[in-house]
Structure formats: structure tokens, C-alpha cells
Structure 1
Amino acid sequence: MAPPPPASPPVDLTPLVWVVDDSPTEIEAIRRSLSSACRVEVFSNGEAMLEALHQHGPPDVLVLDWQMPGLSGLEVCRYLRGTPSTAMLPVLILTGHARPEDVEEALLAGANDYVLKPFQPAELLARVHALSRWELQRKRVLADERARRVLAEGSLTEVQAAEARARRSEQRYLLAARATRDVIWEWNTETDEVERSISLPAYLGYPDTGQTGDTQWWKEHLHPEDRERVVSGIRAAIAGTAQDWQEEYRLRRADGTWVFIVDRCHIVRDEEGRASQVVGALQDVTERKRLEAEARQRAEFERQLIGIVSHDLRNPLNAITLAATAILRSEELEERQRRNAVRVLTAADRATRMIRDLLDFTQARQGGGIPLNRQPMDLHELVHTVVDELQVIHSDRTIHVEQAGDGKGEWDPDRLMQVIGNLMGNALQYSPPNTPVKVTTRGEVDAVVLEVHNSGDPIEPDVLPRIFEPMERGSHLQAVRAGRSIGLGLFIVRHIVLAHGGRVSARSLADEGTTFTVLLPRHP
């Protein structure tokens, strides 16, 4: 009597999800969205994730932020797809890029799916679940194929082989039971028969006839514009050498409307390269398409609105600024007139910065990044220029400047003026009038360091990790001092510094004051 086959190890259906994002706020939101149903591990950058990947092996699903310092999400994705051990790892991209060409770029880089920011927790969890189910099914199919090959070599009895097939069938339907939004299917390419976990007609609202049958019903209900592309595409994938196929298309519902479908399958091949098994999952993404369309419309409206507002406001503000500056240059001004002119110039400067920050914030949030115009320059000289301008407006404040080493590099001078101006503006705004503000620039071997220090109230420890997020401020007193600031200055600083390949940090203690430190590589 043949010995009984070894018991299959229990399958852990709780997916392990790795999250790579440099924003503590977003990481916490993702963790809250997934922790009820997933094991979640987080990484602040792509490099740390890749190191863990080499040490521990891949997770079930990888969630990547598109925009990160160092390696971007797309660069990480391309690396994974070029490595045999991670070529099939399910990857979900988190992005603010709503344009179709951006989505296409992410998919071409190898992403399996994407979620637009700001995301809904339920949507994120559903996408991760779909990818984890797909990965578990793929692993099971590969394991069964290995068992089939062992049988072909005569290492198992027919009884054991039947038990292996039974375990495969049981696993498939276990997955189907969990896949509340998916239709799991298996296609016999020799007979053209398809076995589905859910009746496709019933899934689309037609009377449930118990149909499983062949692919004819599916073909007839494909959108006419999609039919030839989809049918020829999957047949070409099966006839060729591909291991995976994915397509998006439309199917007609019973009420005559069209449902958007994402269909994926894994193709198992024998030793001669012929398709021996084709298993896939079909998912309704109509709601996702609707949300994406709304996001694109909203993004376009925001761009148009802010563009119009900035254009219509900048011209009068420029005129006010020029007039106030000309008045201040007069030597016949009385002290009261000078104070009024300074007040006008300060208000105009604040309004101009608010408009500029709004434009930069919109562009960064929508995934466009901060555009740069690099040129050779000296950071020491730029700091003096900004300090001189601020000293005119804040004539009652003391600003100390200390400089050392070589300040030369290739940067965007206009953008760095924003960085210096925003950091010094914060330092002047959030510190007592009788205390100095200190600005230091220090040349190092491959970089130049900028530090802006003030002796104001410290930033609360719970706020400090989020200080570079939009709309973040410290205490009530600081919020009052902020006046009509919209809270985007430090967010813009961070994005400009990251665009230069640098980094920015903040340190704030009651006995030391607050120091913002920017490190800028001299060259791209």
C-alpha cells in the first residue's frame, strides 16, 4: 500500500503587504485602511524596501508611492519587473497623476493597478485584496503544475494525483468565495470550455441559466469596439510564450449599459511551451472609472480656476509692489508714510507668495512635480539677496548671516529664493520681535547646507514629523501669528528641495529654538 500523501501546509490567507511611502501622514492612513485585513510593513524609501526584499523575499502585495526621494515608485517597479524573482510580484501604485498618459506610464512600468490620491480607504483595501487573491491563486496554480510534473515522472500514484487535483479545486473555490467582486475562471483551451466561480450572465444581471459553457456568450456581449482587440489579444498570448495576460474592456449588462472590466489571467505551460492551464480573474471596475473621470474633471477645473485667479491677481499685485517700492525709495517720506508704505508692500508680498504657493501646491499634488531651471550659481550670494529684500520689509528685526566654504552649485535660483524666503518668513513670523534670526550657508565636499534658526516657541513633538505636510501648523499662538497664511510654505520647500535631489529637516527644542536644515547636492 502506498504511503498517504503528506498533508498540505495550511494556507495563510492573510496577505502580507509592504507599503513604501516617504510621508508619515500617508503611511498612517494606508496602515489604518489595510490593518483590519492585512499584515502591513512600511518602508520610508525604495532603497530600504529593496534591501528587505533581498533579505526576506517578496511580500504578497507591494504598495508604492509614485513620488519619493531617491528611487521613485516607477523606478522601483521597473527594477522589480526586470528581476526574475519579483517579475510577477503584484504592485499597486499610489499617485496623484490623473492624466491618462500618466496612468499608461505606470502600467507600462509594470504596475498591476493604481489608486488616485486622495484615496478612499475602502477602495484601497479592495484593490489590495484583489491583487492578493490573484497572487495566491497564481502560487497555487504553479504548485499544482509542479505536482503534475512529479506525477508525469512517476513519483505519485493515481490516487495521490486525484487528491492533488481535489486540493486544487478546493483552493480555487475558496478563493472564489473570498472574491466578492471577482469572477474566477479557468479556460480549457483545447475544448474552449470555461469554468467560472460565478455565472457570468448572472454577474451582469441576466437570468441565471447555470451557463458555464464555452466563450461564445462572453464574445457576443463584448463591446463591438473592444471585441476584436480582446479576443485576438488573449488568443495570441496563449499561442505565444507569455505567462500573463491583462486587458480592460466593456461588457453589456442586462439593462443595456456597459460595465468596465479588468481581466487578468496566468498561463501555465508544459515543457514544450504549450498552454496547459489558463486561470484568471475578472473584476468590475466601473466605479473606479467613474471616480477617475471625476478626478480628472476636478483636477482640470482646479488648474483652470487657479490659473485664472493667479493671472488676474498677479498684475494688480505687481503694480502695488512696484508703487510701494518706489515710494519707499523717496527721501522725503515722513515716518508715518514710510510705515504705511511698508505695510502695503508686506501685504502685497504675502498675497503674491500665497498665489505662488497655491500654484505650486496644485502642481505637486496632481503629480506634476516642481519644474526646475538649473544654472550655475552661488548660494551665498543668493542668501544675501533674499536677506536684503526681507530686511527692507522687516526693518525692525535683526538678521544674522554666517557663511563658510564654497557656495557654488547648479540649482534653480528662483526656486531656491522661494526656499530661503519661506524659511526666513517662518522664522521672522514665529519668533519674538526682539530676537534675531540666523541664516547660515556652509559649503561641504559635494553639497551646500542652508540653516535658518529662530528662538521662537518650539514646535510640538507630535506636529514636528508632519510639519512639511500641507496645512500643518504648530500651537494656537503660532497659528495666530501665521495670520492669513494658507500653510503651504513648508510643503513647497520640501518639494523644491526634493526636486533638487536634496533633503530638508527640522529640529525644535525649548532651550535651542527651531532650526530648519536644507542639504543641496552641488550637481544633479
Structure 2
Amino acid sequence: MSDSTPPIVAPASIPLVWVVDDSPTEVEAIRRALASACQVDVFSNGEAMLEALNHQSPPEVLVLDWQMPGMSGLEVCRYLRGNTSTQMLPVLIITGFARPEDVEEGLLAGANDYVLKPFRAAELLARVHALSRWEVLRKRALADERARRMLAEGSLSEVQMAEARARRSEQRYELAARATRDVIWEWNPSTGEMERSISLPAYLGYAEAGLEDTSDWWRAHLHPEDRERVVSSIREAVAGTVQDWQEEYRLRRADNTWVHVVDRCHIVRDAEGHATQVVGALQDVTERKRLEAEARQRTEFERQLLGIVSHDLRNPLNAIMLAATAILRSEELEERQRRNAIRALTAAERATRMIRDLLDFTQARQGGGIPLNRQSMNLHDLLQTVVDELQVTHSDRTIQVEQTGEGQGQWDPDRLAQVIANLVGNALQYSTSHTPVRVTTRGEVDAVVLEIHNTGDPIAPEVLPRIFEPMERGTTQQAGRAGRSIGLGLFIVRHIVLAHGGRVSVRSVADEGTTFTVLLPRQP
């Protein structure tokens, strides 16, 4: 075959997948899920990935986390869809947002598919495989159209065209054979000829004897509520000017149950805009729909639980704290009564903090983020106030405070007090009583840096990458000391800092101790 023969797009043995996620824990889980079948490149934010697109060939599939510092996954997706060179790049969104309106927002932003957190490795791999197969088919259809144009221009012979078709057909069925349970299909609008990798009746459990696998059979087995919408939609797409079509609908199985499918296709057009070839893939998403329904039920349960926690539990705790505070104002208390009142007040305050952490955790996991009430404030002053309060309850410990530079910025003082109290409290809890805890705030040009350092047992190296995930603790000894904690503090710290547009990190080694570093931009 001469050099003028157009390239035939063959399925890559190992598809290249780009992952954009700022969580080391999630990145590691994605790597493990895809390692057996994909080459994975990782970017910690959308900006870095977009910069790489300027210098490298795009991947077969892009996996995006929905919620990231800087550009969110949806913002990245919208940018790609607005760029001619990337508007067809297959995108899979990973999200904790399970509400139908959230899913719709993701798909409208341009995502081809999505996976809910916490995801199963097999499900993630199946979704990535489906998108990579779809991309191969789309490129193959484009290559075939290019070959037709070269034939029309006289730069490609009939023999070369026939060879290209034969190779394309062979590769198509090779791809279909390697597919899981997706139905790969190809339709010629001019002749009405339809080819499928799997017989649709057999796919739905029907005995094939006497059945014709035709578009009429497909139409007859559409759910009555979906039939008019789906048939009209595909007709309008083929008759119009669009290149891609996608619908979700239901098909009747042989046992009279319904399978939920996502059907998507690429429409190849000639120079006049007429459809000459349609290549598509039909994917069973029944399990996904079931999981979505369970997620909606779980979300509703969590919403009801939040109402109970925020109202029915807080009210009696507030009453206990008010009563204990009133008792402590009395001048006629015996020492034993005073100790009991202090113990009740301390326990109620700890329970209130746990409730606040649970509410913040649930809101963050549901995708709502940590709400902020920004105002002009001085971080140096706030730090001193929080440390003074902690020093009262830890009178036997030394807390060293160092402050340099300008501390002014636009932040939420209550939320940052939460960050400081959590990090300093952890430093006191996880260090020996005779060692000091050092707390510094350092003003830089556009940001203020907060550092909390303590000596003691270092955080275990295998735990360090997950330390900001919920329910994680540094060492066995530290976990024992944290018996009264629910393990959400650092997770919430990270989300508060991210909500301010900042970042938080930790360094922990035996010789140096443990240092948490928080960088807070002065302006939103």
C-alpha cells in the first residue's frame, strides 16, 4: 500500500488515561483500579493538565475529579468542550455529588460519563474501557471519511480503499470481541444496513430463532415512555448537522424487565453535510441506575439525620452548657461541686465540637463544601486569642508563639479558629508533656503562613499520604491517645483551607518532629 493510504486507527493495546485529582488517596485508588489495563498519567490540578495538552498528544480518556482547588472538574470540562482540538476528548467525572440535578449539571458541562464516590475498582475500569473503545471507533470513522474524500479526489485507488475497509472491519470486530457487554454498532443511513458486535435480541435474553436484529425490532422494544423521545432524537441528529448523539433509555428484556442503557454515536458526514456513516456503542447502565437510586436514598437519610443532629441534639447540649455555666458563677460551691460542673461543661463542649465536625464532614462529603463568612481580620491576633484559650486548659504545657510580617487578610475568623485549635490541640495531644509546641505565623507578599510544630512520635510513612482523609490517625500510639476523637479534624482542616483557596501540608520525621504548614492567600 502506498504512503498516501490513510491511517487506520487500531485499538491501542494499553490506552493512555490522564487523571486530574488533588487527593493522593484517590489518585492511588484510581491507579490501582486502572493499572492492569491502562497507562496512567496524573495531574494534581486542571491548570497543569491543560498546560500539558499544549505540548503533548491528548489521552484516550480523561478522568476528572469534580471538586478541586483552582479549576473544578466541571470548569475544566467546559473549557475542553469550547476548544476545537479537545471538544471530542472522552471525559469521565469522579464525584461525590449523587443528586440527579448534580449528575445533569456534569453531563451538561460535557462529561461523557461519571462514577460516584466511593467507587468500585471494577466499575471505574469498565467505564474507562467503554470510553476508550468509543474514542477508537470515533477516530476510525473519521479516518474512513478521510479515505472516502481521498478516493473522490483521486488520490486513493479503489483497491487501496477496499484494503482499508477490510482492515477497518477486522479491527472493529476484534475490538467488539474484546468488549465486555457493550453493543458496538454501525449503521449506513443510505442503505439502512446495520451491523452489531452483539445481537441485540441475544443481548436482551431473547432466543434468536426467527428474530431479525433490525431497527424496527429495536424500536418495538423501547420503553413506551422513551420511544417517541429517543426515535425523534436520533432522526433529528442524523438529519441535522451535529456529529455526536447520546440518549439514555430503557429496553425490554425477554423476562419483561427493563434494562437501562446509554446509547451514544458519532455521525460521519460528507462535504455536503449528509450523514454517510453512524458508529455507536450501547452500554448497560442498569447497575449504575440502581446505585444512583441508593445514593439518593442515602442522601435523603443523611439530610434527615443532619436535622436530628443539628437540632435535637444541640438543644439539650446547649441547655447543659448554660446550666453548668450558671452553676459555676455561684460563689457558694464546694470544690467537689465545682469540679463536677466543670466536668459536665467540658463534656458538653466536646460533644458540641463532635457534632460540628460531623456536620462539616457530611456537608463536605456531599459536595456542599465548607461555607465561609469572609471579613477583614488579622491572623496574628486570632492566633494569639486561640492559643490563650488553649493555654488555660493546658496550663502544664508550653506553647511558643512567633509572629512576623503583616497578618491582615480576608478570611473567616471562626473557621480559621477551628483550624488553629485543631492543629494546636493535636500537637499538644500527640507530644510528650515536657516538650513545647511551637506555633508561628509569617506574613508574606500575598499570603500568610501558619506553622504548628511538635516533637514526639512521627506519623507513620504509610499513613502520611492519607492523613487528611477521614478516620485516619498517625500511629498506633497516637490512635490510642485519640480515643475521644472521631478522626475528622484534619479532614475538616483541609476543606476549610481549600475553601479559602489555600493549601495545607505536613512533614513528619523522627529527628525533626511533625510540622503542619498552612498557606492562606490574603484575598479570595
**Shared topology, TM-score over 0.5?**
yes
Whether the 8 Å contact between 2:457 and 2:513 is mirrored in structure 1 is yes
Residue matched to 1:86: 86
For residue 253 of structure 1, report the CA deviation from its aligned partner: 1.4
Deviations 1:181-220 (A, max 9, x none): 1111112223334222222122112221475564222112
Residue matched to 2:460: 460
Which residue type is aligned with residue 266 of structure 2?
A: H
Larger CA deviation: 379-388 vs 158-167 = 379-388
| Cα distance in structure 2, aligned partners of 1:73 and 1:278 | 30
| Cα distance in structure 2, aligned partners of 1:101 and 1:488 | 28
Larger CA deviation: 154-163 vs 71-80 = 154-163
For residue 164 of structure 1, report the CA deviation from its aligned partner: 1.2
Residue matched to 1:379: 379
Whether the 8 Å contact between 2:401 and 2:439 is mirrored in structure 1 is yes
Residue matched to 2:369: 369
2:294 is the alignment partner of 1:294: yes
| Cα distance in structure 1, aligned partners of 2:5 and 2:136 | 22
Larger CA deviation: 406-415 vs 133-142 = 406-415
Structure 1 SS opposite 2:282:
strand
Where does 1:15-30 land on structure 2 (aligned, <5 Å)?
15-30=15-30
2:187 is the alignment partner of 1:187: yes
Whether the 8 Å contact between 2:9 and 2:140 is mirrored in structure 1 is no
Where does 1:441-480 land on structure 2 (aligned, <5 Å)?
441-480=441-480
Which residue type is aligned with residue 175 of structure 1?
A: L
Where does 1:121-132 land on structure 2 (aligned, <5 Å)?
121-132=121-132
Whether the 8 Å contact between 2:10 and 2:171 is mirrored in structure 1 is no
Cα distance, 1:44–1:87 mapped onto 2, change above 3 Å:
same
Larger CA deviation: 199-208 vs 496-505 = 199-208
Larger CA deviation: 504-513 vs 410-419 = 504-513
For residue 377 of structure 1, report the CA deviation from its aligned partner: 2.0
Structure 2 SS opposite 1:105:
helix
2:53 is the alignment partner of 1:53: yes
Cα distance, 1:318–1:522 mapped onto 2, change above 3 Å:
same
Residue matched to 2:389: 389
| Cα distance in structure 2, aligned partners of 1:9 and 1:278 | 16
| Cα distance in structure 1, aligned partners of 2:461 and 2:163 | 59
Where does 1:43-192 land on structure 2 (aligned, <5 Å)?
43-192=43-192
Cα distance, 1:450–1:125 mapped onto 2, change above 3 Å:
same
Which residue type is aligned with residue 482 of structure 1?
A: A
| Cα distance in structure 2, aligned partners of 1:336 and 1:283 | 70
Residue matched to 2:239: 239
Residue matched to 2:321: 321
Deviations 1:12-47 (A, max 9, x none): 232111111111111111111111111122222222
Which residue type is aligned with residue 53 of structure 2?
A: L
Residue matched to 1:350: 350
Residue matched to 1:305: 305
Residue matched to 2:432: 432
Structure 2 SS opposite 1:471:
coil
| Cα distance in structure 2, aligned partners of 1:387 and 1:333 | 29
Structure 1 SS opposite 2:202:
helix
For residue 460 of structure 1, report the CA deviation from its aligned partner: 2.2
Cα distance, 1:357–1:291 mapped onto 2, change above 3 Å:
same
Larger CA deviation: 207-216 vs 289-298 = 207-216
| Cα distance in structure 2, aligned partners of 1:328 and 1:391 | 20
Q: Report sequence identity in percent.
A: 81
| Cα distance in structure 1, aligned partners of 2:457 and 2:353 | 24
TM-score for both structures, normalised by structure 2: 0.94
Residue matched to 2:264: 264
For residue 246 of structure 1, report the CA deviation from its aligned partner: 0.5
TM-score for both structures, normalised by structure 1: 0.94
Cα distance, 1:243–1:214 mapped onto 2, change above 3 Å:
same
Whether the 8 Å contact between 2:19 and 2:40 is mirrored in structure 1 is yes
| Cα distance in structure 1, aligned partners of 2:461 and 2:232 | 59
Which residue type is aligned with residue 257 of structure 2?
A: T
Residue matched to 2:492: 492
For structure 1, which runs of at least 5 residues remain unmatched after alignment? none
Whether the 8 Å contact between 1:195 and 1:212 is mirrored in structure 2 is no
For structure 2, which runs of at least 5 residues remain unmatched after alignment? none
| Cα distance in structure 2, aligned partners of 1:3 and 1:280 | 30
Structure 2 SS opposite 1:86:
coil
Cα distance, 1:11–1:213 mapped onto 2, change above 3 Å:
closer
Larger CA deviation: 334-343 vs 293-302 = 334-343
For residue 339 of structure 1, report the CA deviation from its aligned partner: 4.6
Which residue type is aligned with residue 221 of structure 1?
A: H
Structure 1 SS opposite 2:434:
coil
| Cα distance in structure 2, aligned partners of 1:99 and 1:330 | 52
Whether the 8 Å contact between 1:251 and 1:261 is mirrored in structure 2 is yes
| Cα distance in structure 2, aligned partners of 1:399 and 1:223 | 69
| Cα distance in structure 1, aligned partners of 2:399 and 2:326 | 24
2:409 is the alignment partner of 1:402: no
Structure 1 SS opposite 2:273:
coil
Deviations 1:50-70 (A, max 9, x none): 222222110111111111112
Cα distance, 1:520–1:333 mapped onto 2, change above 3 Å:
farther
For residue 335 of structure 1, report the CA deviation from its aligned partner: 5.7
| Cα distance in structure 1, aligned partners of 2:61 and 2:299 | 29
The root-mean-square deviation of aligned C-alpha atoms, in Å, is: 2.3
| Cα distance in structure 1, aligned partners of 2:210 and 2:468 | 57
Deviations 1:260-288 (A, max 9, x none): 11000001111111111111111111111
Cα distance, 1:227–1:303 mapped onto 2, change above 3 Å:
same
Deviations 1:414-453 (A, max 9, x none): 2112111111211121122233323222222211222222
Cα distance, 1:52–1:3 mapped onto 2, change above 3 Å:
closer
